[in-house]
C-alpha cells in the first residue's frame, strides 16, 4: 500500500538474517508524526524486537526534504478548540492518547534491544528529534536541520527533551530549548543528539554494506559492526562548522545562574554580529513566556530522574499545556492562520506565577496506561 503513512520492509543480509526497515511516508506533510504513524510503528517494533531473525532496524523517511518535522498538530488543535483551552475544562481524550502513545514509542526506541539506525536527513524537529535521539545509531547528513522549536507554538521541548537536552554539553540544551535555534549535523553531534555525519549520497553504500554483513544476533557485537559501517561511510566527508561549538562560551555566559529572569535579561540584551546568535535571541523574545517558564521548571526537576520518570512528568506537562491557552494560540498563529502573531497569556515572563507553573504540572485524570509500566 503506497498510501500507508508508514511503509515496512526488510533488508536481507549475508547470513539470512534481516534488518527491519520502517519508512515514514508522508513527505507532503514533511513526515509529521501522526497518531496513525505511532500506532503502526509501536507494534511493528515490538514484533521485530522479539523476532530472532531480525537483527536490527532502520528508521528512515520518504522524500528528500524531511525526516520528520515534528508532531502532526492539526487534529490536536481541533480538540483543543472543542475541549476549551482554559484550566479545568473537560478532558481532552485525544491529547491523552496522542501524548501517551507518542512517548511510549519514543521510550521503546531508547530501550530497543537491537541495533537501531535512524537516518536523520533534512528537517528533524520536535517529535522527529524524539524519534531520532533514542536510536543506538543516529545519522545526520550535510542537509540535516535539527531544532526543538516548541516555544514558537506555546509548548515546551517534550518527547523526552527535558531529559536529553539536560545531557548536552554545559547549558547548550537549555539554549536550544529557549531559542528554537536550528542546528546542523555537526552541531547535533556536538550536542550528543546524533553520532555520525554521513553524506546523503552515501546512503546506498551504507545499505549495501548492511546487506553484505553477516550479523551474529548478539546485540553488542552487532552494534559495533554497524558503527564500523557508518564510520567507513563517513570517512573524508566534509562537515559544516558547528555554531554551538563556536559560540559555546557565549552560550554558557548567557545561560548561567539560577535565576530565570537574569537569563532572560541577558538574552534580550544580546547584540551580536553573528546572524545565528542574533536570530536565536529574537526567537526567545517572541517565544511564549509560559513555554520558557515551564521549560525552566522542568530543567530544575529532571537531573536525577530516569527517562521513564521524565516521560511521565512530561505527560502531565503536555496535558497542562492543552488545558491552558498558549498552545492552541501558538498552533493557530504558526500552522492555521499563519500570521506569526500569537497573543500569549501571560504576555511577559515577569507576569508568570508559581501557581501558574504548578497548574501545568499537576495530574489531570489517570496516568496514561502506556506510560505506567515504563522502566
2-6, 76-80, 141-145, 304-308: which range is least confident on average? 2-6
CATH of the domain at 348: 3.90.226.10
Percent of the chain, pLDDT > 90? 96
Of residues 72, 101, 104, 158, which has the active-site annotation? 158
Which pLDDT score is estimated for 89? 61
Percent of the chain, pLDDT > 70? 98
The answer to whether 242 and 187 have CB atoms below 8 angstroms apart is yes
pLDDT digits (tens, 9 = 90+) for 211-254: 999 999 999 999 999 999 999 999 999 999 999 999 999 999 99
Q: List the one residue out of 216, 208, 195, 234 whose CA is nearest residue 56.
A: 216
The sign of the CA dihedral 296, 327, 72, 99 is positive
Q: Which whole number is the average pLDDT over 149-160?
A: 98
Q: What is the count of structural domains for the chain?
A: 1
Of residues 122, 127, 128, 154, which has the active-site annotation? 127
Residue whose entry in the numeric block shows the C-alpha cell 496506561: 369
Q: Is residue 159 part of a domain?
A: yes
Of residues 56, 70, 71, 287, which has the active-site annotation? 71
Pull the grid cell for residue 18. Answer: 534481516
Q: Which whole number is the average pLDDT over 330-356?
A: 96
Which pLDDT score is estimated for 65? 98
> What predicted TM-score, i.e. pTM, was given to this entire model?
0.96
Which pLDDT score is estimated for 1? 44
Which pLDDT score is estimated for 82? 83
Q: Is residue 371 part of a domain?
A: no
Please say if 366 is a catalytic residue: no
Which pLDDT score is estimated for 15? 92
pLDDT digits (tens, 9 = 90+) for 101-119: 999 999 999 999 999 999 9
Alpha helices in the chain (DSSP H): 35-50, 74-83, 93-110, 127-133, 161-164, 172-179, 185-190, 203-212, 219-234, 243-246, 248-254, 260-269, 275-286, 289-301, 307-323, 326-331, 354-361
Please say if 158 is a catalytic residue: yes
Of residues 150, 195, 222, 329, which has the active-site annotation? 150
Q: Which whole number is the average pLDDT over 255-259?
A: 98
Please say if 127 is a catalytic residue: yes
Q: Which domain holds residue 176?
A: 6-361
Q: Is residue 154 part of a domain?
A: yes
pLDDT digits (tens, 9 = 90+) for 125-151: 999 999 999 999 999 999 999 999 999
Confidence tier at 337 by pLDDT (50, 70, 90): very high
Q: Is residue 260 part of a domain?
A: yes
Q: Is residue 355 part of a domain?
A: yes
Q: Is residue 366 part of a domain?
A: no
Which pLDDT score is estimated for 90? 76
Q: Is residue 1 part of a domain?
A: no
pLDDT digits (tens, 9 = 90+) for 17-51: 999 999 999 999 999 999 999 999 999 999 999 99
Please say if 150 is a catalytic residue: yes
Query: Distance of CA 46 to CAs 34, 113, 127, 169, Å?
Result: 19, 10, 20, 32
Q: Is residue 162 part of a domain?
A: yes
The answer to whether 1 and 39 have CB atoms below 8 angstroms apart is no
Amino acid at each position: 500500500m503506497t498510501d500507508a503513512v508508514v511503509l515496512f520492509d526488510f533488508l536481507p543480509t549475508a547470513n539470512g538474517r534481516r534488518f527491519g526497515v520502517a519508512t515514514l511516508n508522508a513527505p507532503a506533510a514533511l513526515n509529521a508524526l501522526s497518531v496513525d504513524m505511532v500506532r503502526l510503528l509501536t507494534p511493528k517494533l515490538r514484533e521485530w524486537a522479539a523476532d530472532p531473525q531480525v537483527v536490527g532496524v532502520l528508521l528512515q523517511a520518504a522524500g528528500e526534504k524531511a525526516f520528520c518535522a515534528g508532531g502532526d498538530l492539526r487534529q490536536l488543535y481541533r480538540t483543543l478548540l472543542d475541549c476549551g483551552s482554559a484550566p479545568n475544562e473537560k478532558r481532552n481524550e485525544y491529547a491523552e492518547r496522542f501524548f501517551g502513545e507518542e512517548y511510549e514509542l519514543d521510550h521503546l526506541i531508547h530501550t530497543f534491544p537491537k541495533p537501531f539506525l535512524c537516518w536523520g536527513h533534512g528537517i528533524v524537529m520536535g517529535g522527529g528529534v524524539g524519534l531520532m535521539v533514542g536510536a543506538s545509531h543516529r545519522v545526520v547528513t550535510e542537509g540535516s536541520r535539527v531544532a526543538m522549536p516548541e516555544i514558537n507554538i506555546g509548548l515546551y521541548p517534550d518527547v523526552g527533551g527535558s531529559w536529553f537536552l539536560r545531557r548536552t554539553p554545559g547549558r547548550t540544551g537549555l539554549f536550544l530549548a529557549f531559542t528554537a535555534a536550528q542546528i546542523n549535523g555537526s552541531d547535533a553531534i556536538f550536542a550528543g543528539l546524533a553520532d555520525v555525519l554521513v553524506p546523503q549520497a552515501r546512503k546506498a553504500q551504507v545499505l549495501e554494506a548492511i546487506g553484505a554483513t553477516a550479523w551474529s544476533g548478539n546485540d553488542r557485537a552487532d552494534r559495533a559492526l554497524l558503527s564500523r559501517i557508518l564510520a567507513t561511510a563517513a570517512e573524508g566527508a566534509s562537515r559544516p562548522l558547528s555554531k554551538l561549538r563556536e559560540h559555546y562560551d557565549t552560550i554558557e555566559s548567557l545561560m548561567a545562574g539560577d535565576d530565570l529572569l537574569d537569563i532572560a535579561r541577558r538574552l534580550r540584551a544580546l547584540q551580536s554580529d553573528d546572524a545565528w546568535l542574533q536570530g536565536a535571541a529574537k526567537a526567545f523574545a517572541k517565544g511564549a513566556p509560559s513555554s520558557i517558564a515551564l521549560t525552566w521548571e522542568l530543567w530544575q526537576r529532571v537531573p536525577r530522574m530516569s527517562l521513564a520518570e521524565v516521560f511521565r512528568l512530561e505527560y502531565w506537562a503536555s496535558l497542562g499545556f492543552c488545558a491552558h491557552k498558549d498552545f492552541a494560540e501558538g498552533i493557530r498563529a504558526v500552522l492555521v492562520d499563519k500570521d506569526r502573531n500569537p497573543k500569549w497569556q501571560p504576555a511577559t515572563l515577569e507576569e508568570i506565577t508559581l501557581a501558574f507553573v504548578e497548574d501545568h504540572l499537576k495530574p489531570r485524570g489517570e496516568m496514561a496506561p502506556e506510560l505506567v509500566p515504563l522502566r
